[in-house]
Amino acid sequence: MTRISVSILNADLTDLKGVAATVQRSGAEMLHYDVMDGCFVDNISFGLPVLQSLRRCTDLPLDVHLMIRDPLRFAERFADAGAQLLSFHVESESDPAETVREIHRCGLRAGIALSPDTPLERLCPYLHMLEPEDFVLLMTVEPGFGKQSFLYGVLPKIRALRSRMTAECLPLHIEVDGGINAETAVLCREAGADLLVSGSFLFRAPDVREAVRQLRGGEESFR
């Protein structure tokens, strides 16, 4: 079962309610919210107040992706603001084990994110801390901006992680993020990803519901 998380980074943010309605109408399972602090990545997006406003516009799960230097310090505040899934980068300055524990303490699903050049080995000490329904987020573009081209070189990493999860009976999800469209979605699904983030492809599509269906490979939404 493939699930879709819609990134609103490049949506028309003059109309947050309209954006939330579009995501709801799309049949996607969740809304992807990219938080950037201008330190961990070279861009600043949106933070807690906008998430609180968005929370009031939709009942879809909010999949918050922290691209910030110190995620541990902010996990609880993002939980309070309405996140259900919270991912942070293993390359950040926070201790990953402590950050996973903090996200669990707040009652959220935890995700550990890896930038394209970060080897899977960086995950090793933490993979077994993740619980069923937690996830690993593999970036398929350099974090920081939407509308970039998919990095095909990440596909072997997706495959290797899925094999490892299968071999070790880890019931975790693999989320991929960046440059996902109808063509790259197939490759990611075949490689073992089951949670696909997509932004610009969906917001450019003439029929967002049909575009989400394409990302799933024709499967109907179960919502």
Q: How far is residue 99 from each of residues 93, 104, 106, 108, 125, measured CA to CA in Å?
A: 10, 9, 11, 12, 13
Query: CB under 5 to 8 A by kind: which of Zn ion, ligand DX5, none does 9 bind?
Result: ligand DX5
Nearer to ligand DX5, 91 or 164 (CB): 91
Q: How many residues does the chain have?
A: 223
Q: Which amino acid makes up residue 169? A: C
Q: Name which of 3 and 32 has its Cβ closer to ligand DX5.
A: 32
CB contact at 8 A, 26 and 219:
no
List the interface residues with ligand DX5, window 115-134 (CB under 6 A). Answer: none
3 binds, among ligand DX5, Zn ion, none (CB under 5 to 8 A by kind): none
Of 63-71, 76-84, 102-110, 158-166: span binding Zn ion (CB under 5 A): 63-71
Binding residues for ligand DX5, rule CB under 6 A, total 22
Report the C-alpha gap between 118 and 116 in whole angstroms. Answer: 6
Please identify, using beta-carbon distances, which residue of 27 and 111 lies nearer to Zn ion: 111
Q: Considering CB distances under 5 to 8 angstroms, the limit depending on partner class, which of ligand DX5, Zn ion, none binds residue 192?
A: none
State which of residues 65, 109, 157, 173 lies at the interface with Zn ion (CB under 5 A).
65
> In the chain, how long is the greatest CA-to-CA distance?
46
Contact present, 66 and 35 (Cβ < 8 Å): yes
Q: Which residues are catalytic?
A: 34, 177
